[in-house]
């Protein structure tokens, strides 16, 4: 006798449908990491709205001027790294559109290049003393403390990226061999040795801190819903909150400073750039060369004597 309630069906904008199709292509055809898809798709959604609004998306109508005008409109409001990420995502999408046959022109070549200078600044690395102070401040008597301690050790001792820690799964740890399998950028897998202290911290969390869950992620949220972190931002928030509670004036509030700190310590102990690059999972030697600018002690040996001598 009760009439069926009519619910208004929300119309999905054509731009959103196109952006989601591109996201599926990145996941299924290109097998890109989830974080990469999350980073790329919002830029493409903005680009489609900029060009077509809420109307029908006709990619064949796109011209080079549309691409350039969008970059000129968005780039000034973005940080340099975000602007570079935007242009990378845009080139990827335009190659995808050409692959589908929606675009016949090579519009990816029309995407402007964001100015970028090689090694413009010294990496901001957390010091070894600050790392020890931070780890000592974690209350490992609680479940959350055991989780946070294990995560911070992975960042500090293995130099993992925040996303690599967030998406680490139980099957990635080989306890018998003492190794951890890490999925880095581009879906590349690398096997890293699992230091005893790091393994003990993870085991303590799994035994006495990790909530009961069907999730295969190693680290879970402490509050409902009890699932793994959605992305690297969850690990970044954990680092920021831990630094603030400990009252540590670190170079930054992000997780990447531990990666820089590990590289700096390895360099000071005599490790080669190739060894550092292998640990950090760098694919290009140029990426590792930035750490040569932080070894001030070694650089002093290259300094020429001051004319006239020292008085």
Q: Which residues are catalytic?
A: 161, 185, 256, 259, 282, 291
Phi then psi dihedrals of residue 295, to 5 deg? -85, 75
The kind and range of the H/E element at 261 are helix 256-268
What's the rounded Cα separation, in Å, for the pair 27 and 24? 5
Residues 6+ apart with CB under 8 A from 31: 187
Cα within 13 Å of Cα(127), Cβ side? 7
Residues 6+ apart with CB under 8 A from 169: 216, 217, 218
- Given a contact cutoff of 8 angstroms between Cβ atoms, the answer to whether 86 and 74 are in contact is yes
Residues 6+ apart with CB under 8 A from 15: 45, 48, 49, 52, 53, 54, 57
Phi then psi dihedrals of residue 233, to 5 deg? -65, -30
Is residue 204 exposed (0-12), middle (13-18) or buried (19+ Cβ within 10 Å)? middle
| Structure-token match 């099957």, residue found | 171
- Given a contact cutoff of 8 angstroms between Cβ atoms, the answer to whether 221 and 227 are in contact is yes
Among 211, 294, 226, 296, which Cα is nearest to 259's?
A: 294
Tokens of 135: 């780890």
């Amino acid at each position: 006798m009760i009439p069926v309630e009519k619910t208004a069906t929300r119309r999905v904008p054509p731009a959103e449908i196109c952006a989601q199709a591109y996201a599926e292509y990145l996941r299924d055809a290109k097998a890109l990491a989830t974080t990469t898809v999350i980073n790329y798709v919002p830029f493409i959604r903005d680009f489609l709205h900029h060009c077509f609004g809420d109307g029908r998306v006709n990619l064949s109508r796109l011209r080079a001027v549309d691409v350039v005008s969008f970059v000129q409109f968005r780039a000034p409001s973005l940080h340099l790294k975000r602007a570079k990420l935007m242009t990378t995502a845009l080139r990827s999408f335009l190659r995808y559109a050409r692959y589908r046959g929606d675009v016949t022109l090579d519009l990816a070549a029309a995407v402007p290049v964001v100015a970028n200078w090689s090694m413009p600044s010294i990496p901001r690395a957390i010091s070894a003393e600050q790392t020890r102070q931070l780890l000592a401040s974690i209350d490992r008597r609680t479940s959350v403390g055991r989780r946070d301690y294990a995560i911070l050790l992975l960042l500090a001792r293995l130099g993992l990226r925040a996303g690599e820690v967030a998406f680490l799964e139980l099957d990635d740890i080989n306890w018998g061999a003492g190794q951890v399998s890490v999925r880095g950028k581009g879906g590349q897998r690398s096997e890293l040795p699992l230091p005893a202290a790091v393994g003990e911290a993870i085991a303590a969390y799994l035994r006495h801190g990790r909530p009961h869950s069907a999730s295969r992620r190693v680290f879970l949220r402490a509050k409902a819903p009890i699932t793994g972190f959605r992305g690297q931002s969850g690990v970044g928030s954990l680092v920021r909150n831990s630094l603030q509670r400990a009252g540590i004036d670190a170079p930054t509030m992000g997780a990447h400073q531990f990666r820089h700190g590990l590289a700096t310590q390895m360099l000071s102990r005599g490790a080669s750039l190739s060894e550092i690059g292998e640990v950090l999972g760098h694919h290009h030697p140029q990426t590792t060369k930035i750490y040569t600018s932080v070894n001030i002690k070694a650089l002093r040996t290259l300094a020429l004597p001051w004319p006239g001598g020292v008085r």
